[in-house]
Chain A
Amino acid sequence: MSHAVTSPDFVNNSKKAIADPVLQTALDRMTRGFPVNRRRAVEALPEFDSLRDEAKVIKDHALAHLDLYLEAFEKKVIESGGHVHWCLTPDEARATITRLVRDGGGSLITKGKSMVTEELGLNAHLEKEGFKPLETDLGEYIIQLANEPPSHILGPAIHMPKERIADIFVEHHTPLGFSERKTTPEELVAEARTILREKYFQAKVAITGANFLVAETGSAIIVTNEGNGDLSQTLADTHIVVTGIEKVIPTLEDAATLLRVLARSATGQEMSVYTTLATGPRRPGDTDGPGTFHVVLVDNGRSQLLASPAKEALRCIRCAACLNHCPIYKAVGGHAYGWVYSGPIGAAIDPAYLGLNTARHLPNASTLCGRCEEVCPVRIPLPKIFRYWRTEAFKQGLTPGPERQGVRLWAYFAKRPKLYRLWTRTAARVLAAAGRGKGRLRHVVGFSGWTNMRDLPAPEGKTFFEQWKNRE
């Protein structure tokens, strides 16, 4: 089943998420853990900030010459015996992948973790076409069994407590002969591993994502902590890499720099456990590797994003540091955002991929606190991008009426100081009178969003300018 986009319902989604104690416990745990680990890793590497500068320059350069590097990458892939497929739309990408999978034979497909395939709703599509895609990343495997979308770029099942995972495993693994309910993380991992292990040998086709595409060598790089991506892509006859066009970088040297900031920003590791380069199909004399190698390059709004003032979002290397440090994400979790990419980076790119009308809430639901930009390894100015989308929404008439008219009215007064003084004098007196004696208001008509959950401190009485005029 494909997961419906619920981004237009962000307000209701977030209310539900805040009222869900199980989710809140999971969010509290993760948003305490990740930032501490990142900070420890960053403090242990004095050159981290200059590496971030280098990482930004590498990605900016690659994006500024994206056409050249993609063509260079394609040339290298072809030279090494592989194939490259260019897909502008999700439909094209799904059709292309389906054709490649069919050519590969068999119905079982092992999958490494790939956010782009989530973006394409690929599993649902492949199932409809009669295939059995099987996620091999533990988190992805869990949400596949639960039929839920990912809630985090890095840890797709991070919203689930282990008790829920134990229940899901009992339900789905009992028919496979694993009926005993496991309780510790180690036992749960071991059970999933046992079940997945034999699938790697059965599947003829493997689909993975890519963290980087290296133009110099035609390599697709993936990093994992479980080794599942390696097993998938090495043991299948056909390896299909599905990724976005923005992942290409010039050289292996560049990849080394980006990898140094990636794992530290993501989990606080110096390096992920496995870093795997796939360069073409198995060569004569190679002991293993796929016989056929494909790279499916997906655009899906990326070239339009590249042409917009929000293009810096394409530097993203999917470390999830912005999610881990975001107070909004911490409050509502990933599912509230209503699509594949959540948190600050989701708020920056979802409007480009889903349409601004659908994703309008996401860049608005931010205090512009800047914590995301502060920790981003490639220095994406996320608040600036949120403001860009807000400006676009205002221009296109997508800003809701009350906000639009409220801001216009405010601006009308703010541009006329004398009128403004009259208005603020009145407002201050009315509010001060309403709060007289208590110093605060428990209800303010038209301001219930605030006063339902907080008091509004009352104004002192006369405005500053009224008092200042009298004093001068």
Chain B
Amino acid sequence: MSDKAATRYNVGLFVTCLVDLFRPSVAFAAIKLLEQAGCRVSVPPTQTCCGQPAYNSGDRSAATDIVKQVVAAFEQFDAVVVPSGSCAGMIRHHGPLLLGDDPEWGARVKVLAEKTFELTQFLATKTAYTPTAQHTAEVVYHDSCSCLREMGIGAEPRALLDHVTGLNRREMDGREECCGFGGLFSVKYPDVSNAMVSAKVANIKASGAELCVGADLGCLLNIAGKLKRDGAPIAVRHVAEVLADHCDKPAIGDRS
């Protein structure tokens, strides 16, 4: 669409705490993709976390403070792009729930919410970007619950992956089912979490894929961690790495 190509967005990249700590290459891949899509990308240095750990543990006061920090760091941009459905959902849906009625922050948080996107959602719906990457693999896409149900994203990453030369995309059984990560849930209720991720990796294995990709690093650390413990030869990567042609680097949990 013409207006897609015409807009040159000033994008603020929200890196996310897990990408910053565990897999910076996802952020570099996201920057590359956004630049290829014609965006100017900035990474505000005052960002840390989206506030979800506090929010989901019931510490509203800390969560509110952190959301304010996100608003202040990102409101200057045309769009906020996040390589995670979970953190994007926090800013987009839960920020206004926390601060929507605040006389000073209410309007600001709502404006920010409206212009916050998950990476594949942004690329597919706001830009004319078409992937040019190449990678030969049988691939299965893992939907994170936050992408699928909170953000309504499912078709976008699949459509983008279908442009990657050499990928043959499969679907797994139980694709709507949670992988059992759930942030702190994974360590608060490890047995239940393990039962859930066991069911998920069984479906991934049964799909016949040799590569599992997803848009949320939390799920991917969980899934890769379980596959590695099982000794299963299935690589796990963030969708941005595949789209940005970064598959020459070790997959998640692989030796470098």
Contact = CB atoms under 8 A, between A and B. Distances in A.
B109 interface: no
A457 B22 contact: yes
Contacts of A460: 22-25, 256
Nearest to B68: A415
Interface string B126-145: 00000000000000000001
B170 interface: no
B182 A369 contact: yes
B253 interface: yes
A464 B24 contact: yes
Contacts of B19: 464
Nearest to A410: B53
Interface stretch (A54-62, A248-256, A315-323, A360-368): A360-368
Interface string B12-47: 000101011111110110000000000000010111
Contacts of A160: none
Interface stretch (B117-125, B189-197, B207-215): B189-197
B145 A328 contact: no
Interface string A323-356: 0000110111000000000000000000000000
Interface stretch (A41-49, A234-242, A266-274, A385-393): A385-393
Interface in B202-244: 221-222, 224-226, 228-229
Interface of B: 15, 17, 19-25, 27-28, 43, 45-49, 51, 53-60, 62-63, 65-66, 69, 145, 149-150, 176-178, 180-197, 199, 221-222, 224-226, 228-229, 250, 252-256
A364 B65 CA distance: 22
Interface string A427-453: 110000000011110100001011011
B48 A420 contact: yes
A371 B176 contact: yes
15 contacts: A11-B189, A327-B180, A330-B199, A370-B149, A370-B150, A394-B60, A407-B54, A411-B65, A414-B51, A414-B69, A455-B228, A457-B253, A460-B23, A464-B27, A469-B45
Main secondary structure of the interface of A (DSSP, over half): helix
Interface residues of A, number: 66
Nearest to B51: A414
B228 A393 contact: no
B192 to A, nearest CB: 5
A259 to B, nearest CB: 27
A457 B181 contact: no
A18 B191 CA distance: 8
B228 A440 contact: yes
A464 B21 CA distance: 7
Contacts of A371: 145, 149, 176-178
A413 B54 CA distance: 12
B3 to A, nearest CB: 31
